[in-house]
Amino acid sequence: MKNHKHKNNYRFPENTFHFFRELFLLSPGVGICFFIAVIGGVLLPFLNARLPRLVLQGLEESWALPLFLERLLFLVFLLALTGIVKSGAASYMETTADVMPDVYNLRIVKKRMAADYEVLENRSFHDEAYAAYHSLYRHHSEIGNGYAIWKEFLTAAVSMVLFGGILLTQSVVILILALLPALTAAFLQQKARAYDQKMRLSAESSNRKMEYTSRLSADPRAGKDIRLFHLSGWLLGILKKERNTSEGHVKRWENAYLAANCTDAFLNFLRDGCAYVFLILQIAAGNMAVSDFVWYMAAVANCQQACDQLLAIGERLGKLNVDYSRLRRFLDGWDGTAFAGCFSTGDSPNIKEAEIEFRHVSYTYPESSTPTLTDLNFTIHPGEKIALVGLNGAGKTTLVKLLCGLYHPTEGEILVNGHRIRDYDRETYYQMISAVFQNVKLLPLSIAQNVASAPEGAIDYDRVRKCLKLAGLWEKVASLPLKERTSLGRRVDPKAIDLSGGETQKLWMARAFYKEAPLLILDEPTAALDPLAEQEVYEKYKEMAAGRTSLFISHRLSSTCFCDRIFFMEKGKILEEGNHQALLKKGGAYAGLYHIQSQYYTKEEEPLCVSQTANAAGSELSLC
């Protein structure tokens, strides 16, 4: 598997730059409104503080009434204008800011679908995807409030500099009284944020278990077992246990913030008391006019408010940085693909036929020390039909995933039409393959859209009906009022229908036929069908597979009779190879397994079951 490297940590300055870059890329207008809102947030308290000083100064200096009214009305006009512009900019910004979590979620979904399948089975990939998603939608997540947090932070920071500078013109002592508590509290907040990040990772495992258990409780497939085997109490116990574990971690990091905030409140009390005593002494000594006293008192109040706001929003900014780091860790990581892309759609070699060659191919799963496949060597010629059989755990499905390009060999190489799979462009290679796997999921779309894997306007309905007939599903579809336009997925659309397991399998076989790729792969395509239905499907399958290279896995050896060759696998190796009759004559492992299975399907061994089946179907069931 390709080594997907990404950064483990993102520093605060990096996240800050990334945030503002995303802000202006998403909407330059929003970026402009953001800074207008910040400037308005600084000017409003400044102008409000100037208003009482202007009134008192006019009275002290006995300004003429026209001059007094002129200055007063001009200041009031600035206040009104600043308030209107600030509110308008903030409203416009918030309408766009609300969509940011959804924008990032689309990127997460795209990353999940674009990753190599081998990566999709990696536990770390899912852990990071889960953390990224919950950094957007988790309760108390701050990414959705990112614009507001940064606006408040910058407003408070600029206000503190502005009013701190005003206080500095009076005395450095009063400025120190304002800044020292802020710096102390900032240090404590940083410690709390570091502890937050550490404990949040510990809580993530419990949160994921709770979410999985909750989904399981609503899954109809699990509902039967939950009720029949009385599993509800056990599942509820897991939920309570993991909830208590998660809440314990949350309390620990919240207590760290609480300690920092309590210390900040005490230091603020000392700061305010000392500042007011200092200013009152200046008035008593006759060193300060009443208008200046009001001005500096307003400056102290605004500086105090800016410090408090800066510290409060600093806590949220720290949480935003943690969430943003988790989001970027996933979105910036897991890039690349194991496909080299030497052959693109435009210059790919002939994809109308498929010749496959395995050269000393071995595969070991990432977390295993024992190879699942060992030194496989064989060639499948164009148009040849191959059956892959063997007991569970023999490595059949792993071999198919290697051939599909979902996995890549740990040793050796696989060639298709003379070129290594890795050398193809991924999308070009996938165009060559049509596959049906054991576990399939229906999309909540029409039957025709599921078969064609295409939007409504790009569907060849004649071809859809032909493929449904070949798969043995047309009789069912034809009985529906809307036929192939019938929607699937009743949980999504109440007017839709649900298919049985066997019908679903037939639908995916129809989809595989519709694609008309040169390489057809069927992994237990008839597992959900009864033997008679299976025999019918394979008769039609032979017609559809004509001229196409095909490989299918089956546990029922009766389905291998029509194949050109059979590969019997055991413990990751091809133990026997040949057609059905040749392997029976050989009397080896294939023949032994075949005779064990045959006793369950012959009329002599099971006269009652077979006769009932024969009477119902009008024919006698046989293996070949």
pLDDT in tens, 380-398: 999 888 989 888 888 888 9
Average pLDDT of span 324-336:
82
Using pLDDT thresholds of 50, 70 and 90, give the confidence band for residue 617. Answer: very low
Residue 573 parent element (H or E): strand 573-578
User: Homologous superfamily of 356-438+522-530+548-617 in CATH?
Assistant: P-loop containing nucleotide triphosphate hydrolases (3.40.50.300)
The pTM (predicted TM-score) of the whole model is: 0.66
Task: Measure the CA–CA gap between 602 and 595, rounded to whole angstroms.
Answer: 10
- Tell which residue, 566, 594, 593, has the closest CA to residue 582: 566
Whether the predicted pLDDT of 622 surpasses 50: no
Question: By the 8 A CB rule, do 185 and 264 touch?
Answer: yes
Question: By the 8 A CB rule, do 253 and 188 touch?
Answer: no
Instruction: Identify which of 97-106, 289-298, 578-587 has the greatest average pLDDT.
Output: 578-587
- Least trusted range by pLDDT, from 125-134, 182-191, 405-414: 182-191
CA end-to-end span of the chain: 42
Whether the predicted pLDDT of 422 surpasses 80: yes
347 token code pair: 């210059």
Using pLDDT thresholds of 50, 70 and 90, give the confidence band for residue 537. Answer: low
Residue 518 parent element (H or E): none
65 CB-near residues (< 8 Å, 6+ apart):
none
Which residue intervals of 218-289 are DSSP H helices?
220-228, 232-284
* CA 595 vs CA 222, 323, 391, 564: distances in Å: 36, 61, 14, 20
* CA 186 vs CA 154, 257, 300, 302, 440: distances in Å: 15, 11, 19, 18, 54
**CATH fold group of domain 98-332:** ABC transporter transmembrane region fold (1.20.1560)
531 token code pair: 């033997």
pLDDT, tens digit, for every residue of 30-76? Answer: 878 888 989 999 999 999 988 888 888 888 888 888 898 999 999 99
Average pLDDT of span 187-193:
71
- Least trusted range by pLDDT, from 101-105, 116-120, 196-200: 196-200
Whether the predicted pLDDT of 612 surpasses 50: no
Q: CA 258 from chain center: how many Å?
A: 33
Question: By the 8 A CB rule, do 552 and 388 touch?
Answer: yes
Task: Measure the CA–CA gap between 23 and 100, rounded to whole angstroms.
Answer: 10
Q: How many helices (H) and strands (E) does the chain have?
A: 21, 10
Task: Measure the CA–CA gap between 31 and 80, rounded to whole angstroms.
Answer: 23
pLDDT, tens digit, for every residue of 304-328? Answer: 778 778 877 877 888 888 888 888 8
Whether the predicted pLDDT of 414 surpasses 70: yes
- Least trusted range by pLDDT, from 223-227, 301-305, 533-537: 533-537
605 token code pair: 């061994």
Whether the predicted pLDDT of 77 surpasses 70: yes
Question: By the 8 A CB rule, do 388 and 551 touch?
Answer: yes
Using pLDDT thresholds of 50, 70 and 90, give the confidence band for residue 292. Answer: confident
263 token code pair: 């210390």
